[in-house]
Amino acid sequence: MIRQTGTPGEGLQRLGERETELEVCLAQGEKLLARKDSHVRIEDDARMLSPLEADHRPASAEALEDLITARLPQVELSALLIEGAAWTHCSDHFVHAAGAETLRPTLRPHLYASLLAHACHVGVEHMAHSTDISSQQWAWCTTWDMREETLAAALTTLVNSHHTLPCSQGWGSGMLSSSDGQRFPVSGKNRHARAFPPTLGDGQGRTFDSWTSDQLSQYGSKPVIITARDATSVLDAILGNATERAIVEHTTDTAGATEMIFALCDVLGLRFTPRLRDIGSRRL
């Protein structure tokens, strides 16, 4: 990895290079602090950052939003899933656990129905009452075809296909990504669930970390223990990235930032740019 990124193998040499870069950045920062119109300033030996005011949306943007909404057709979620799978062939990755046999055409509706049931947190039992597919058929498809490796392969195909869309190129290059954790309550018995911190309420839950590129495609997700800090898994999906996204820069919130993450990103040739809360009280 060091040979690929061009990072020196000697730690002291790298620290010397970074110290030189820091001196240059500090000189640039002092010029910004001296400007009267700067949002960053020093008051009573403390760093102060003025809040940014939100820009008002122009009337033309509001009119454009209404025109786009009027032109978008109202479609069923199931129809969108089936059509998207036909475009990308992502459903071809859902092979049987006993071999490399793909789903027969007659079983593909069961797969799409199972994906919707799990994605919408409805469950196969409730969805079975709303369709003509028995719960045994749902369970068979979920057990034998919807596995972690098949879901990951299908997701990779979807992200790569999304990257080629013209509108995706307008949103971003795909080289910037961000990650964050979202907590979900868990009902019933679950050996991976933990009690919510007192500030977040009662009950038990799990955290799902997700990694999203600047093209608005989620290229990774991972369930973690709810009491774990986001920084402990912030590099997991980046190092295991199997998509065509060449991540160069990554950002998190305060919970995803530690000095160790800064150091590891430097070794990996990544630029780490977290959004830090209360930056005036942090040791930089």
Q: How far is CA 105 from CA 91, 108, 217, in A?
A: 11, 5, 28
pLDDT at 162: 93
Most confidently modeled range among 34-38, 103-107, 144-148: 144-148
196-245, pLDDT tens digit by residue?
887 777 888 889 999 999 999 999 999 998 888 899 999 999 999 999 88
Q: Are 246 and 178 within 8 A, CB to CB?
A: no
Q: Are 214 and 249 within 8 A, CB to CB?
A: no
What is the phi/psi pair of residue 256, to 5°?
Answer: -95, 5
- For a pLDDT cut of 70, what percent of the chain falls above it? 97
| CA–CA gap between residue 227 and residue 206 (Å, rounded) | 9
Residue 188 predicted with pLDDT over 70: yes
| CA–CA gap between residue 126 and residue 115 (Å, rounded) | 14
| CA–CA gap between residue 181 and residue 221 (Å, rounded) | 9
43-95, pLDDT tens digit by residue?
887 788 888 788 889 999 999 999 999 998 888 988 999 999 999 999 999 98
Residue 2 predicted with pLDDT over 70: no
- For a pLDDT cut of 90, what percent of the chain falls above it? 38
State the pTM of this model: 0.82
Which of 154, 256, 167 lies closest to 216, judged by CA? 167
| CA–CA gap between residue 250 and residue 256 (Å, rounded) | 11
